[in-house]
A and B are shown apart, each in its own frame.
Chain A
Amino acid sequence: MGKKALWKISTAGLVLIPVAVGINYVGKTLASLLKLPLWLDSIGTVLGSMLAGPVIGAISGMINNIIYGFTLDPVSTVYFITSLAIGLVVGILSYRGWLKSFPRVLGLGLIVGVVSSIVSTPLNIIYWEGLTGNFWGDALFAYVIHLNAPLWLASFLDSIVVDVPDKLLTVLIGYFIYIGLPKNIKQLFADDEIEEL
């Protein structure tokens, strides 16, 4: 992808956003249907970033949370910043070649998990004094607080315990789908010489 195309908002990119949000929704539904202990609600954001760059990915993430907030669960709106960050990180690192080898993809997954936790922690602290609403995470939080650790650490660990496995798997799924896509789809977003009206 050319450097110019990285920050461009093309029609193809805008059309991709609802699809990305839809994919996020599908992931979330399947995780819940199959009763898997993960969120899996960022696959679309990640895939959108891999295909169309950080700006489209970030917007997808933000719109995703805002729309969920309006139609399913108002609490989601609070985390739109996290989704935005995920979109930016995946987009920028994909551009820098982090999708070129499998170990790097694993690294990307871990980085996204950590960034996601770092961004969510202040939100969790402001809104619910550090909790996340996830059973395992909150149990760990209680234990760490019991050991007199500082709030930010307890909250950060609370997030990490769920976010790192979840984002790692999300990035892997996104990656495998990305490499399996037909070339003409990838071209849609990559080439900044498409004629537009």
Chain B
Amino acid sequence: MNGMGLYEERNTWVHRSDPVTKLFYGITVSAIPYILPYMGVAAFFLCLNILLLVLAKVFKKILPILFLSFFLMLSIVIVHGIFHPDNRTPLFSAGGIHFYREGLSLAALLIIRLLNMICGFGVVVLTTKPDLLVNGLVQTGLSPRIGYVIHSVFRIIPQMAATVNKIKDAQRARGVETEGNLLTRAKALFPLLVPVIMSSLIATKERTMALELRGFGSKGKRTFLKEYEEGRYSRQARWFFLLLLFGSAVWRVLI
């Protein structure tokens, strides 16, 4: 069951790497450019992430995700390029409006960091099956109840999306207008939203009882259907990432 998520099935070493270690990697490489705000640092990690994406054969899949932030990036270039208080040296003009070097170089740093963050996450998200990641986290120490919660979200969202479609069709058949001017569309919100929410909440009661009956809250030791094996160098890799993170924080404070 594919359900929700961006995972792409491929057979590369990146895919086969320990998911929890990949998570450490993703967080580390996304955070460091913010701790050490230099263009060189950001560009280095961005290149590293792109390389990994290519090696994992999922590079094309990151492009739609990057596109989601397109407006934000455009806004960064325009607003900071034109209006930043430090702007002094005009770089070029378009239609009588000046774009300044200071604002644009800041914009460049912000954008490279954003691209890096998205690609860093992409390395984790596009190559890791959510189930395996949650499984790994739980067996590394995350509370199994939180593991259930996360796992449950992945199942619930496609279900709710399907319910929304069903209810949308049912209500449209009853005359609810979903196209037209703003007021018409706004009036459609309640007849669509309320039935979906009510039915989901009512189902919560049965779900709770079902879980209770299956020993959900029990404090005993649990066994797992799929045993999680740490990668061979997982321990070293995770310490390495933690050290990098800590090291860059120290560097930032000292320099």
State the A residues within 8 Å of B (CB).
Answer: 11-12, 14-19, 21-23, 25-27, 29-30, 33-36, 43, 47, 51, 59, 63, 67, 69-75, 77, 126-129, 131, 133, 135, 138, 141-142, 145-146, 148, 151, 173, 177, 180-182, 184-185, 188, 196-197
State the B residues within 8 Å of A (CB).
Answer: 4-6, 34, 65, 68-69, 71-72, 75-76, 78-80, 82-85, 106, 110, 113-114, 117-118, 121-122, 124-125, 130, 145-146, 148-150, 152-157, 159-161, 164, 168, 178, 182, 185-186, 188-190, 192-194, 196-198, 200-205, 207-208, 211-213, 215-218
CB contact under 8 A between A133 and B71, given known A22-B156, A25-B161, A30-B164 = yes
Q: In the assembly, what is the distance between CA of A21 and CA of B113, in Å?
A: 28
Residues from chain A with a CB closer than 8 A to the CB of B149 are 14, 17-18, 59, 63
Q: In the assembly, what is the distance between CA of A141 and CA of B205, in Å?
A: 46
- 27 CB < 8 A contacts A-B: A11-B211, A11-B217, A12-B205, A14-B145, A16-B204, A17-B153, A25-B160, A30-B192, A34-B178, A47-B201, A74-B118, A126-B34, A128-B114, A133-B69, A133-B72, A133-B75, A135-B71, A142-B82, A142-B83, A146-B83, A151-B85, A180-B198, A185-B201, A185-B202, A188-B208, A196-B217, A197-B216
Known: A21-B156, A30-B193. 9 other contacts (CB 8 A): A12-B208, A14-B145, A34-B189, A36-B186, A67-B154, A74-B65, A127-B110, A127-B114, A129-B106
B110 A128 Cβ-Cβ under 8 A? yes
Residues from chain A with a CB closer than 8 A to the CB of B65 are 73-74
Residues from chain B with a CB closer than 8 A to the CB of A73 are 65, 68-69
Main secondary structure of the interface of B (DSSP, over half): helix
Q: In the assembly, what is the distance between CA of A66 and CA of B155, in Å?
A: 15
CB contact under 8 A between A15 and B192, given known A21-B156, A22-B160 = no
CB contact under 8 A between A74 and B117, given known A11-B217, A30-B164 = yes
Residues from chain A with a CB closer than 8 A to the CB of B146 are 14
Residues from chain A with a CB closer than 8 A to the CB of B211 are 11, 15
B193 A18 Cβ-Cβ under 8 A? no
Q: In the assembly, what is the distance between CA of A74 and CA of B119, in Å?
A: 9
Main secondary structure of the interface of A (DSSP, over half): helix
Residues from chain B with a CB closer than 8 A to the CB of A72 are 68
Residues from chain B with a CB closer than 8 A to the CB of A128 are 72, 76, 110, 114
Q: In the assembly, what is the distance between CA of A63 and CA of B148, in Å?
A: 12
**Closest residue on chain A to residue B215 by CB atoms:** A197
CB contact under 8 A between A71 and B193, given known A14-B148, A15-B208, A128-B114 = no
Residues from chain B with a CB closer than 8 A to the CB of A70 are 5-6, 121, 124-125, 130
B79 A22 Cβ-Cβ under 8 A? no
Residues from chain B with a CB closer than 8 A to the CB of A197 are 212-213, 215-218
CB contact under 8 A between A145 and B83, given known A126-B34, A128-B76 = yes
B79 A142 Cβ-Cβ under 8 A? yes
Contact of B197 among A75, A127, A177 (CB under 8 A): A177
